[in-house]
Amino acid sequence: MLLGINIFNRINSIKYQFQVLYELQKNNINQYDPNDSSFIFIGGHQSTGTGLMRILLDIHPLVRCGPEPVVTRELLRYRRHLETMSDLLSQSGITENVLDDASAAFIATVIQEMGPKAPRLCHKDPSSFIYLEELADMFPKAKFIHMIRDGRAAIASTIHRGIHPFYTLENISTAILSWERTTSQMLEDCQYIGIFRCLSIRYECLILNPREEIKKVLDMKQVQFK
């Protein structure tokens, strides 16, 4: 009985939070409409050059790429977790559209408010591309830059920097398999989104021909190369 009450209270709390965000967006109290937000999302496996891409784009006078907003991946992880509670949520009046609209409004607000205004806003978070397909649905006008790097170099850099708790010198083969699964899924999602919205850039090519690779990105966004 107590467990049932706790679940009911949790559902009501989730319902309230998402419905408040949804109503704010619907009533235009929140000025950020994800459907009109042509953001640039940068992601990929860790240590694939997402940071370098962010810096190079940030140099452009029409583009603003801020630091990595760690809240995005946490929200997307929680949003996917809520799919396991879809029946309970729907009974409370929370549909998939409500969840997507509220999540998109939150992410859009974070991107807009974390730095100065600019004609083109950029969001860089490698792990967020685990949810690439969901992001594409939430932001129909956004463009996506998927960074790819040789798996051996990506794993070596990740281990050296100590940014992944499960990547160590003792389990390199496991780390390589993880890189392969993650990269393959992101490539598949990028292809599903389409070449006009998602562009895969190799880190090695960016290092050797930065002007050419950055021009590809800016052309996709219809931003003049400077």
- Rounded CA-CA distance 204/226 in Å is 22
Crossing angle of helices 96-113 and 71-81, rounded to 10°:
180
Q: Out of 68, 74, 96, 133, pick the active-site residue.
A: 68
- Rounded CA-CA distance 182/120 in Å is 28
- Rounded CA-CA distance 190/26 in Å is 30
User: What is the Cα Rg of the chain in Å?
Assistant: 19
- Is 68 among the residues known to form the active site? yes
Placement of tokens 């021009």 in the chain: 215
Taking Cα atoms as reference points, which of 147, 141, 145, 146 lies closest to residue 204?
147
Q: Which residues are catalytic?
A: 68
